[in-house]
Chains A and B, each alone.
Chain A
Amino acid sequence: MPIRIEVYDVKQRTNATLQRNAQALGLAGVRAIRSQTLYFLSADPGAESLERLCAFLLADPVTEEARWYDLAQSQSSDLPPNTVIIEVAYRPGVTDVAARELERGMVEMGLPSLQAATGVRYEVEGEVGREEVQRLARQLLCNETVQRYTLGPIPPLFSREAAADATVAQVPLDGLSDEDLQRLSRERLLSLDLAEMQAIREHFATVGRAPTDVELETLAQTWSEHCVHKTFRAEIAFTMKNAAGDTIHQETVDGLLNHYLRRATEQIAPAWLRSAFVDNAGIIAFDDEYDLAFKVETHNHPSALEPFGGANTGVGGVVRDIIGVSARPIATTDVLCFGPQELHPGEVPEGVLHPRRIAAGVVAGIGDYGNKLGIPTVNGAIVYDRGYIGNPLVYCGCVGLLPRGSHRSEPQAGDLIVALGGRTGRDGLHGATFSSAELTHETIEQAGSAVQIGDPITEKGLIELIEAARDEQLYHAITDCGAGGFSSAVGEMGKELGVDVDLAQVPLKYPGLRPWEIWLSEAQERMVIALPGENLARLQALAALWEVELCVLGRLTGEGQLLVRYEGEIVAEMPMDFLHEGLPRRQMTALWQEPAVPRTPRLEPISLNEALLALLADPNVASKEDVIRRYDHEVRGGTLVRPLVGPEMDGPSDAAMLKPLRTWGDPRAFTLSNGLNPWYGRRDPYRMAISAIDEAIRNAVAVGADPNQIAILDNFCWGNPTYPDRLGSLVRACQGCYDGAMAYRTPFISGKDSLYNEFNGKPIPGTLLISAIGIVPDFEKRLTMNLKQPGNLLYLLGETKAELGCSLLYRLLGDVGGEVPGLPEGALARYCLLHQAIQQGWLVAAHDLSEGGLALSLAEMALAGRLGASAQLPATDLTSTEQLFSESNGRLLLEVLPEHAEALEAHFAGEPLFRLGTVTEEPMIRIAQGDKSLIEVTVGAAVRAWKREGTS
């Protein structure tokens, strides 16, 4: 009979975080929660073995004790009064690294080879009713997407010996009406529209047989929005109307991707651009030997359902995009959009997790994967808005380093197709098509299998193995297994040549997978390479060293057919041409109607001091230190400008600067920064795009990047594009992307769109993230944003306009009317001058102006440096509110050494450069206009507001 082992804390400490979270759920009766770790063994290895196992591996001799019993015997446990037990364990097939390591450890110890499982036991003490216990389990302790729970002892489930189920179904399409075709698409979660279903029906009518489930699923995923970006390739009839409803512009857009994003890149085409929009990551030159690859992905729907696993595998996925261009991952970024953290539990829609739980899970998931891989997480942002309650956004980015010319992508006929890494299970089936479906209460129920927990240690093995194989030039081509699994990876690799693969070769996690499931599975931590047969033995030796599982799936044929077998029997046979070119181009309609301009808020009577402190304490501005410190931003030893800066190491950095290991012989480094502002997009998606590009670039320039060597990535998260209004705002954003890229001469090198982000029929705010990677000519010339030295001069660079529309100040005041910040004139030339000034060593600090404008930016510099500032606003036509809080793009604050003031002013002759004042010893932020004092706030008060001290 199975054995149950309980490991408990000798001091019986309670978990304060869980208790706090229980109370936030409204479960005031919960007095204490204690947890124990559970291990299960499939059979009894004997008392002596159990003793050794617990002493060596399971219980820490100082802090823990273990007891065990045979599950055949009933156990009476003496619980304190008013205590209930909730036990939680993973569902079968969910990654459980602890169970695997326990099994491996037992073998290493010479103990019997048994199967292991794990769980957690919670003892909940307090006055809690039956219904409240269920809520506690469902909303806090267990996520039923990946776990199960029982009240009382949980029965263990062990995985079994793996063998597949060879069933292949025929899916007759002949004679199906249009309605039937659409129903079939819905019921099988294919996410194909009528024209696409008709194209499939016609193809198989010509062939003269019904498609198999393998073929149908292959087409659905290859043609999915996620894989082929139908919306971004569609021909769009675009109409623009003014607020009164009159049509002011009409045009046909020949594909958003080609017409706006790619075209900008092709027209700019800088010499340092190595690869854009070709592979899964864009590549630029770094120094004389190395290139840098950069990619940002989204993992929104999985993170909504299972925040830890969704974000965890989001990081894992984008890291594999980087491995997939033969690069070594060296940095990650994350940008997160959540609902308000203080949302009343009663306002959370059915089937949705509370924004707090989502945020906590996502942050833990990102940290777990990045920290364990040993990749520093160095740049990001967190946005809170009610628009993300039902559909949070999780953007994960990764940068990789590769020797120039080392990435090969020329598969040859005859090459073996080799799969490397984790085993295949039912993980994430329909992930590609699921991401193209709107979230509703029902899809959340159906799509339970769409999320998995990651296994960073297996991925770490892949990183080492691929780097070694790359350096020995063993493979001809490489790609990662992402959405669509093997079907996508192998289908893409064999696009030109054709493939012949046998799915019976694939190592499985557990029995019962049908061929289509093996083919489509989105199991994590897998890569596919095209390998000349003569290199197989060498690859096997490397795989053994790094403990990576390897299987030969088949070969590239040169015959142009997709041939999938199961134990030799053909289960799918299609021309690659049809698979990749048979998708009918979508014709879509887009309408952008300019919204009626809302009122501007009443400003009187507001105290400017209180306004500044309120802006500092806004969750979108306030310190993110608690999150940032959960990520390792130091590993690899190259983080030269950190996310937190200043003498107390807690000020908000504009961008990160990194120096890759192995490149220290050269002075070059690179920056990572980002820009996004969904609030502008509600009014004007075009200006949102312009503003995001400017913000990402000015952040990079502020720490020392060369404005002529910055590349950007676009990530669009939008609602359902089949509604003309959603698509209309997307078209406007893409137009902004083109104009912004051209204005700053910065190419897009990669991008991704995540559409259908809606919950119960309501779209998220269209959210464009621009991520920037910039080259720094000399890392010794880096700048941070904190004030450095009393007596230094403060300058404002750039032109302030009356642009308070949708600003942070107006959002706090409730009305958001007025101009939204637009494209600043001459910004690129100004940034180039600034870069020269930084190279001259005239500056000691620079900080960009964004949300909250000049007042907030100056306050941030002061609080980060724990120094005061005294500023005098220039006399202009603007009101003092506009001067203080306008969010006009293209502006920075500079701290300059007095001895260089003259040179700096001459350098910027003819440019909008204003001497504002000085850095002061007295820790006071003062802003005045003429004799009139506008703001007087102590640095201490600013620090407390920004750290939200005294609030939860």
Chain B
Amino acid sequence: MTKPIILIPHAPGTNRDGDAARAIELAGGEARILHLNQLREHRSAFREAQMMLLPGGFSYGDALGAGRRWALDLELLFYDELREFVESGRRVLGICNGFQVLVKAGLLPAWKESNGRRSVTLTHNESGHFECRWIHLAVNPLCRADYLQVLNDLIFCPIAHGEGNLQVRDEETLKRLESEGLVAFRYVGRQGQGAGGTYPVNPNGSVADIAGLCNAAGNVLGLMPHPENHIVAVQNPLGRQDQLGLTLFRAMIWEG
């Protein structure tokens, strides 16, 4: 059987591409890392891929706000390819900086107000600084990314970001995210209990403990934490064998 090809675009300052590629390979996919300058020359790479993964890092050094410059690249340089990719139903996963890019490019949660403005953003952590720590993630059972429902355990993995605080314009926005099943992941306690906004279970102050979003079709998914840094048990700081982030990659590549 041929392995599904997962395209991993690389912008200046992307740095968790290697980690993501290893996760893809352990999950049974074939990772294809291409720098934006290579993608501009080989646009067919979008058509050849079964899935796309926007990895973590500091694209353009986070100058002008995390993910904004890369989002601009996507909107201006790869608009057609990206739209075709998403509309075809193929899956797109954004991790950390990749999630920031998807939100800032308007691909997550993928609706805008009538004036074209976004209502969801990722901004500076409540602590005001970068933070690296392990957290627990739970899949929202109501989320539209139904392939995630095979994850019947929590995911335990690190965060490593300075701008992961998910904020919304108003209560109405939050209600829509919840009611339309666009919340994919939440930060939870060790036993899966709600964080209730408390630090450090919710490490960055995100509204409603939201760690990840998906679009209405469920095929575009983004999250701040790094499941790609917990793909083998030896990486677990608590010495446990379960709660691997690898399950997310397996589900995205193989489920439904």
Q: Is B85 an interface residue (CB 8 A)?
A: no
The reply to whether A545 and B38 form a contact with Cβ atoms under 8 Å apart is: yes
The reply to whether B72 and A109 form a contact with Cβ atoms under 8 Å apart is: yes
CA of A456 to CA of B13, assembled, Å:
8
Contact with A along B4-46 (1 / 0, CB 8 A): 0000000011111011001000000000000101100000000
CB distance from B225 to the nearest CB of A (A): 10
Chain B residues closer than 8 Å to A109, beta-carbon distance: 72, 76
Chain B residues closer than 8 Å to A547, beta-carbon distance: 12, 37
CA of A514 to CA of B180, assembled, Å:
64
The reply to whether B64 and A101 form a contact with Cβ atoms under 8 Å apart is: yes
Known A-B contacts A63-B123, A101-B63; the reply to A374 vs B15 at CB < 8 A is yes
Contact among B16, B61, B160, B234 for A457, CB-based, below 8 A = B61
Interface residue stretch chosen among A435-443, A634-642, A745-753: A634-642
The reply to whether A98 and B37 form a contact with Cβ atoms under 8 Å apart is: no
CB distance from A109 to the nearest CB of B (A): 7
CB distance from A517 to the nearest CB of B (A): 27
Q: Is A592 an interface residue (CB 8 A)?
A: no
- Name the residue on A nearest B17 (C-beta): A374
The reply to whether A57 and B231 form a contact with Cβ atoms under 8 Å apart is: no
Q: Is B62 an interface residue (CB 8 A)?
A: yes
Contact among B19, B57, B158, B238 for A647, CB-based, below 8 A = B238
Known A-B contacts A63-B121, A547-B12, A637-B229; the reply to A57 vs B19 at CB < 8 A is no
Q: Is B146 an interface residue (CB 8 A)?
A: no
CB distance from B43 to the nearest CB of A (A): 16
The reply to whether B68 and A57 form a contact with Cβ atoms under 8 Å apart is: yes
Chain A residues closer than 8 Å to B76, beta-carbon distance: 108-109
Q: Is A766 an interface residue (CB 8 A)?
A: no
Q: Is B87 an interface residue (CB 8 A)?
A: no
Interface residue stretch chosen among B124-132, B147-155, B216-224: B124-132
Q: Which of A102, A634, A664 has the most CB of B within 10 A?
A: A634
Contact among B19, B58, B133, B237 for A371, CB-based, below 8 A = B58
Q: Is A164 an interface residue (CB 8 A)?
A: no
Known A-B contacts A63-B121, A374-B16, A634-B132; the reply to A642 vs B237 at CB < 8 A is yes
The reply to whether A461 and B235 form a contact with Cβ atoms under 8 Å apart is: no
Give the interface residue-count category, chain B.
35 or more
Give the interface residue-count category, chain A.
35 or more
Chain A residues closer than 8 Å to B175, beta-carbon distance: none
Q: Is B198 an interface residue (CB 8 A)?
A: no
Chain B residues closer than 8 Å to A661, beta-carbon distance: 18-19, 22
Q: Is A486 an interface residue (CB 8 A)?
A: no
The reply to whether B131 and A634 form a contact with Cβ atoms under 8 Å apart is: no
Contact among A55, A61, A102 for B64, CB-based, below 8 A = A102
Q: Is A629 an interface residue (CB 8 A)?
A: yes
- Name the residue on A nearest B173 (C-beta): A62
The reply to whether A631 and B15 form a contact with Cβ atoms under 8 Å apart is: no
The reply to whether B131 and A630 form a contact with Cβ atoms under 8 Å apart is: yes
Chain A residues closer than 8 Å to B77, beta-carbon distance: 108
Q: Is A471 an interface residue (CB 8 A)?
A: no
CA of A108 to CA of B74, assembled, Å:
11
Chain B residues closer than 8 Å to A567, beta-carbon distance: none
Q: Is B144 an interface residue (CB 8 A)?
A: no
CA of A63 to CA of B129, assembled, Å:
17
The reply to whether B234 and A98 form a contact with Cβ atoms under 8 Å apart is: no
Chain A residues closer than 8 Å to B130, beta-carbon distance: 367, 371, 630, 632
The reply to whether B35 and A546 form a contact with Cβ atoms under 8 Å apart is: yes
The reply to whether A649 and B134 form a contact with Cβ atoms under 8 Å apart is: yes
Chain A residues closer than 8 Å to B12, beta-carbon distance: 457, 460-461, 547
Contact with B along A204-226 (1 / 0, CB 8 A): 00000000000000000000000
Name 12 extra pairs, CB < 8 A, besides A61-B121, A372-B62, A649-B238: A56-B72, A61-B117, A62-B121, A62-B168, A105-B72, A109-B72, A372-B61, A457-B13, A634-B132, A642-B237, A645-B237, A664-B22
| Interface of A toward B, CB cutoff 8 Å | 15-17, 55-58, 60-63, 97-98, 100-102, 104-105, 108-109, 364, 367, 371-374, 455-457, 460-461, 544-547, 629-637, 639-640, 642, 645, 647, 649, 659, 661, 664, 779-780
